Amino acid sequence: MWNYTRADHIATEYDEYFADNQLFEFDEQVLMRHFNPPGLVADLGCGTGRVLVALARRGFQGLAVDLSRTMLRIVADKARLEGLKIHVLRANLVELDCIRSNSVDYAVCLFSTLGMIRGQENRHRVLMHTRRILRPGGVFVLHVHNFWYNLFDPAGRAWLLRHLADVVFRRSVERGDKFFDYRGIPRMFLHTFTQGELVRSLSLAGFRVKELIPLTAGRQRSLRYRRLLGRFRANGWIAVCE
């Protein structure tokens, strides 16, 4: 992950690489339904700021938080070019003591950023910090990937069998931990969640889930017939919490 945050090509090619990703459009629609009235939004793992730029154009103020200097430079350049009210902060999401308690109206952690943090305890610390910095009545929107979605892909099923064996025999591996090569970065890490794990993690951090949106394979809309094995069929979830 450290190599990922320091790789300039990840940041400079980010917008072009994800230009056709339909999840971006869908999660912005979710935010606009739940973020009202305009206020200060903390984007935890902001990337190149696509969410904050869209919100700032609608009158929101933004706090862009990321560990990548290059990502934050791109966010700052976008804000400056359009005269948008977006501040940038380089910080580790596990260590957000630098942000004052009860200081933001809304928070987002999208595109499976929480899953990029290794260790259940560390992910819990991110959620606790998020709850702490939100003002009373604040809204938090989170996206994660679904562990059981691997059942619907032959390679995913093979990985599941190997992985579940690793979980039994290797204590260092948590259920849902994946490692893969990504755009020149070897052994990238991603934690995938079950629905129960996601809801429990949010509850332990003091959040109440207002809406849990299961996503289709293309991640462009909500899954239909969610009661029909939805917790397995969903590619992932967008959780709206308060």
What average pLDDT does the structure give for the chain? 95
pLDDT at position 21, please? 82
Confidence band for 192, pLDDT divided at 50, 70 and 90: very high
CATH number listed for the domain at residues 2-147+191-241: 3.40.50.150
Q: Give the domain ranges of the chain.
A: 2-147+191-241
CA distances from 29 to 35, 86, 100, 204, 222 (A): 10, 20, 28, 27, 12
CA distances from 48 to 5, 12, 70 (A): 12, 9, 9
- Which of 17-26, 109-118, 193-202 shows the lowest per-residue confidence on average (mean pLDDT)? 17-26
pLDDT at position 206, please? 98
Q: What does DSSP say about strands 104-109 and 40-44: parallel, antiparallel, or unpaired?
A: parallel
Whether the per-residue pLDDT at 138 is higher than 80: the answer is yes
pLDDT digits (tens, 9 = 90+) for 19-63: 888 778 899 999 999 999 999 999 999 999 999 999 999 999 999
Residue 170: DSSP 8-state? -
Q: How far apart are CA 116 and CA 42, in angstroms?
A: 18
User: Which residues, 6+ apart, have CB-to-CB distance to 28 below 8 Å?
Assistant: 51, 54
